[in-house]
Amino acid sequence: MTRVIHTGDTHIGYQQYHVPERRQDFLAAFRAVVRDAIDDDVAAVVHAGDLFHDRRPTLSDIMGTLDILEELAAADIPFLAVVGNHEAKRDAQWLDLYASLGLATRLDGEPTVVGETAFYGLDFVPRSKRDDLDYDFAPHDADYAALVTHGLFQPFDYGDWDASEVLTESSVDFDALLLGDNHKPGKQEVEDAWVTYCGSTERASASEREDRGYNIVSFDDGVRITRRGLETRDFVFVDVELDAEEGIERVRSQVGQYDLDDAVVIVSIDGDGEPIAPASIEEYALDHGALVARVTDHRELAADERETSVSFADPDDAVAERVRELGLSGAARDIDETVRASKVADSNVQDVVKDRVSNLVEENPEALDAAAGAAGDGDTATGDDDSAATAETDGGDADEESTAAEPEPDAAGGGEDQSLEEFL
């Protein structure tokens, strides 16, 4: 018998809601999976992609993951994995680094045999490149075979890739497809094989209300898939339907019925009732111990209840004024000029800026420090735009080819872990 843990979508490094504690939660969830694997003495931990949240993890995320994988290796349990869309790079992958240290195996078209099962891997493939796949896998002589891959597959929700096509076109008869990308767990039988998602190990969006966990897959007289939950930070979901005469006190009363200590509190307001300032509810939750509070009022306000402000200021002038207010050093203003207003071709901006920064830092390590006292009298921006951002659904990224674009900088901004690459 071959018994493995099937996990994925750990998204290590995601500082959700711009809160450092949430960043640690994603790493802690992965550590919990590994320790369960050690306690259960499974044959392997199989990771179906998106180990990291993006392709430029910080040094602390890289080292934290390294520490966990060393713990797994010390128990003589292999870590088998593929690359997901969030972490994929154009050159060598972070998974390759861990493989070079003997801490991981990057699955591919050659079989990696553990016990009685041959494991194969297929990294995330953008939709535009799937027609070029030949599904040619090397033969094996094991009793079972499983393909580990990352993507949104039919017949599951959000699927844009037919699992039956993969199974029928492949040169190997797979007994199971172990999938990542859809954060909602599930399993179905397709073409005489079990196709299963393990779900994410932490909630990457407020839409992920179900408990988090992973799969245990056993290959013995067939394929058996069971699920085990993980203890993660509490998310408190408060859905309030207001009647015509109800308002903020009703919402506070509903929120106050829950234990909010160190929880992420998500409040959703529908119905009628009085207009409510979300900030007042969020403040109430924070005062009662919540780590994070987010309020969404789904009601449509009448046009005369909305305040609209329109400005016809020249956008370039507005940006230039704001840059002046930031109190940047001369070197930083020079870089801003290169990025925003110079005649350097867009395709060459990154290389030009990288060379400029390298020269500046070599000449003077403090060249990019803010001008002393330049911004002392200005307002400090403390806005949190996470609540206005579109939340990731269980289906993963809406843009399947997001790996080709530059990742967004860490929303927490700067900090000790920000690398030179992230700055660029």
Cβ atoms of 197 and 9 closer than 8 Å: no
Residue 190 to residue 175: CA distance in whole angstroms: 10
Residue 51 to residue 280: CA distance in whole angstroms: 37
Residue 163 to residue 152: CA distance in whole angstroms: 9
**What is the β-pairing status of strands 264-271 and 44-47?**
unpaired
Residue 424 to residue 268: CA distance in whole angstroms: 37
Q: What share of the chain is helix, strand, coil (3-state, %, to 5)?
A: 30, 20, 45
Residue 64 to residue 58: CA distance in whole angstroms: 10
Hey, what amino acid is at 132? D
Q: For helices 278-287 and 248-255, what crossing angle results, to 10°?
A: 30
Task: Please list, in sequence order, all residues whose beta carbon lies within 8 angstroms of the beta carbon of residue 180, skipping any fewer than 6 positions away.
Answer: 8, 9, 47, 48, 49, 50, 82, 84, 148, 149, 150, 197, 198
Cβ atoms of 201 and 30 closer than 8 Å: yes
Active site residue 86: yes
CA neighbor of 28 nearest in space, from 182, 199, 202, 180: 202
Task: Please list, in sequence order, all residues whose beta carbon lies within 8 angstroms of the beta carbon of residue 306, skipping any fewer than 6 positions away.
Answer: none
Task: Please list, in sequence order, all residues whose beta carbon lies within 8 angstroms of the beta carbon of residue 314, skipping any fewer than 6 positions away.
Answer: none
């200590």: which residue's tokens?
Answer: 261
Residue 95 to residue 78: CA distance in whole angstroms: 13
Instruction: Kindly name the residue from 86, 150, 183, 288 that is annotated as catalytic.
Output: 86
Active site residues: 86
